Amino acid sequence: MKIKLESSSKNKTELLCGFVPEESSRVLGLPEYDDVKITSSINQSIRDNGGKLGNLTIIPISGKKPASRILLAGIGKKNKMTNDTLRFVSGKIALKARELKLKEFTIIAPPSFVNEIASTVSQIVEGAKMSVYKFDKFRAEKENAPPDLTIVCLRSAKVVKAIRSSEIIADGAIFTKSMANLPPNECNPSTLAGFARTISNKNKMRCKIISKSELKKNGFGGITAVGQGSKNEPKLIILEYSHGAKNKKPILLVGKAVTFDTGGISLKPGDNMNEMKFDKCGGCTVLGIMKAASELKLPINLVGIVPSVENMPGGESYRPGDIVKLYNGKTAEILNTDAEGRLILADALAYGEKQYSPQAVIDFATLTGACIVALGTNVAGMVSNDERLAKRIFDSSKRTSEEVWQLPLNQDYMDMIKSDVADMKNMGIGRAAGTITAAAFLQNAIEKTPWVHLDIAGVAWTQTATKEKPYNPKGATGFGVRLVLDYLQNLRA
């Protein structure tokens, strides 16, 4: 999808789209027509549409007019609009344009009383661009090419920048989805390492891949243990983006990437095990953020670390009862090999903190089913050791509509993972507070750095109870890319 900006809605287009608030008698920004029949048809269609959120009404236009059709898109009541309203409705418009097999369509950006103008055009771009993404790599029958988009809005440097930035951000989310949607026979740890090398070469980042023998030699006991049951060897993927001051500490992003999770010896039930290809979503999110941040040329220092393994049962698999020594020297008693994500993340977090002395750490992981029980499939769990950092992430979640909710972490939860035979165990007590005890395990890997853990198990891909959004088609959602890029863009020097 190519996106361009025009200052007038009078240019020729196959479909001219305008937004209609509920209980309104006009289309926001639509020019007046001197043709009585067209005006009458528009007014009747406004009444029929009602401005209800997501309602679409198409009006054919005859004669030599700039637009072949006019589309009215309901955005609901103005006092109930959110930061997601225009993204949601623009996505529906883009899907309708594709369904009509159009080559292009035009959306009139509503006046600033709806949203601040940069936010308005960003939502339009993200909603339209992400909605026409389709994972059809392995289908013989492909979707028709997505139509191009023209946005009608007064040109300014701010608007031009917003459009360009939101294109890059949407592409970062799509890149994340495309990796996460790959089946396990097409994406193993080496494949992810290849993706990292590609974006590092293209966007001038430093890339380092630590392989099995070096991982074992250097004490990455968690990654080594989890990955040793698979013929697909584990990798630790590191990307460095350095566009900030040399004396400025980096932000560290860490993402769990289990390219397929059988549960290992503690084998998962067969139902929905196919979805465990999505256990790599945290790592894919980190790669998507690194790609977008470098293309946005953000004036920051950023490090992305992705511990990647395949958790398989086999003669060399780690076992319940094993005691594993992690990178930071602490030992973990293994009670369940399906609680593997915290082991590989603990290694990566400890390594990242030691090597880079970051100013803040954010990790992403499809870590616990308990998070889905607690928060459902539309809100990510957040645990942090620093309220200021947590507040910034929460503010970004509100701006991007990638929602998070903070859960507590105190000494009582830390005590729940104490072991009689090791420094800690990789499970809590029964089914109690599973999301928090998993975070408590990760907290043991952090010495003193401000840290936020995002459990994205419920939001990383579309599930039965996931709210339908046109820009999140079935499969991976790319959750976290827009959220954290907003946080990074709003960092204060």
CA distance 152 to 6: 5
- Burial pattern 434-472, b for ≥16 Cβ within 10 A else e, equals bbbbbbbbbbbbbeebbbbbbbbbbbbbbbeebeebbbb
Cα 396 to the center of its chain, rounded Å: 13
**What is the reported pLDDT for 113?**
60
Strand bridging mode 235-242 / 206-210: antiparallel
Amino acid at 425: K
Do 314 and 441 reside in the same domain of the chain? yes
Question: Is 160 part of any domain?
Answer: no
Do 188 and 298 reside in the same domain of the chain? yes
Q: What is the CATH number of the domain that holds 31?
A: 3.40.220.10
216's CB contacts (< 8 A; 6+ apart) are: 224
Do 146 and 210 reside in the same domain of the chain? no
Question: Is 256 part of any domain?
Answer: yes
Do 345 and 472 reside in the same domain of the chain? yes
Strand bridging mode 56-60 / 360-365: unpaired
Q: Residue 390 forms beta bridges with which residues?
A: none
Residue pair 403/397 in contact by the 8 Å Cβ criterion: yes
Phi first, then psi: give them for residue 230, nearest 5 degrees: -110, 150
* H or E element in which residue 86 lies: helix 85-99
Question: Is 163 part of any domain?
Answer: no
State which residues form the domain around 125.
3-153
Residue pair 400/83 in contact by the 8 Å Cβ criterion: yes
**DSSP tag of 466:** P
Q: Helix, strand or coil for residue 278?
A: helix
Q: Residue 332 forms beta bridges with which residues?
A: 324, 424
Do 120 and 209 reside in the same domain of the chain? no
Token code pair at residue 380: 């990510």
**What is the reported pLDDT for 64?**
79
Question: Is 164 part of any domain?
Answer: no
23's CB contacts (< 8 A; 6+ apart) are: 51, 77
Do 144 and 78 reside in the same domain of the chain? yes
Do 120 and 267 reside in the same domain of the chain? no
Do 127 and 228 reside in the same domain of the chain? no
Residue pair 303/255 in contact by the 8 Å Cβ criterion: no
Angle between helices 117-131 and 157-180 (to 10 degrees): 30
CA distance 110 to 124: 10
**What is the reported pLDDT for 114?**
62
Residue in 368, 322, 371, 363 with CA at minimum distance from that of residue 346: 363
Tokens 């990242």 correspond to 352
Q: Which positions of the chain have pLDDT values less than 50?
A: 493
* H or E element in which residue 48 lies: helix 36-49
Residue 206: count of CB within 10 angstroms of its CB: 11
Do 202 and 324 reside in the same domain of the chain? yes
CA distance 417 to 71: 57
Which alpha helices (DSSP H) does 100-133 contain, by range?
Answer: 117-131
Q: What is the CATH number of the domain that holds 241?
A: 3.40.630.10
Q: What is the DSSP string of 177-236?
A: HHHHTS-TTT--HHHHHHHHHHHHHHHT-EEEEE-HHHHHHTT-HHHHHHHTTSSS--EE
Do 88 and 223 reside in the same domain of the chain? no
Question: Is 435 part of any domain?
Answer: yes
Question: Is 165 part of any domain?
Answer: no
Residues noted as catalytic: 268, 342
Number of structural domains, the chain? 2
**What is the reported pLDDT for 35?**
87
**What is the reported pLDDT for 493?**
44
276's CB contacts (< 8 A; 6+ apart) are: 184, 258, 260, 261, 262, 268
Question: Is 133 part of any domain?
Answer: yes
CA distance 72 to 22: 12
CA distance 4 to 154: 12
Residue pair 262/273 in contact by the 8 Å Cβ criterion: yes
**What is the reported pLDDT for 80?**
92
Do 255 and 130 reside in the same domain of the chain? no
Do 246 and 145 reside in the same domain of the chain? no
Cα 424 to the center of its chain, rounded Å: 31
271's CB contacts (< 8 A; 6+ apart) are: none
443-478 pLDDT tens trace = 999 999 999 999 999 999 999 999 999 999 999 999
18-51 pLDDT tens trace = 999 998 999 999 988 888 899 999 999 999 999 9
Question: Is 52 part of any domain?
Answer: yes
